[in-house]
Amino acid sequence: MGSLMIRIVLAVVATTAVALFARAENVSAAELATAQGTISIAAAPTGMAAPRCADLIVEARDANDNHLMAQAHPALDADGACKYALSVPAQSAVWLHLREALVSSTGTVAPAAPNNAPVAKPGAPAVRAVQIRWTAISPNTYFFAPGEQKTIPLSY
């Protein structure tokens, strides 16, 4: 009788976990928004060339931990304006960042310590750290409603 009870409990736990995961996936897929707009490129200083529209990348980053959530390469429209559009998660703080695509995003990166933690030296005592996260509200932090299409002009 004991093994039957264990099987029932395991079946209930597995079914509940699958149902919760499936529900979370459906909710997250429905809660996307669109950020779009025109990018104005300032004149370059003397002796330097201004980047072309195709040389830029628009990134959407989480304002809590700065991880990359989406990126897009802008393109020239029929009127010659540099435009971008990308999908971002709704109901979260998002930073929009514009940078020049100087290095391919497919390159390799040297491994780093997790969470920028200090690397322990051999024989040193173990160190524990607590990372505190908060949402930084700045001029480039945006909040999106589900399904919203927000026009945000960017400049470089």
Average pLDDT of the segment spanning 134-154 = 83
First to last CA, the chain: 70
Instruction: Give the mean pLDDT of the chain.
Output: 74
pTM of the model: 0.59
Q: Is 68 helix (H, G, I), strand (E, B) or coil?
A: strand
Residue 8 confidence (pLDDT) above 60: yes
- Residue-level pLDDT at 15: 55
Per residue in 107-143, pLDDT tens? 444 444 444 444 545 555 554 555 555 555 677 789 9
Residue 32 pLDDT greater than 60, yes or no = yes
Examine the pLDDT at 106 and tell me if it is beyond 60. no
Per-residue pLDDT at 137: 66
pLDDT for the residue 116: 47
Output the six-digit token pair for 72: 């897009």
Burial 100-138, CB ≥16 within 10 A → b, else e: eeeeeeeeeeeeeeeeeeeeeeeeeeeeeeeeeeeeeee
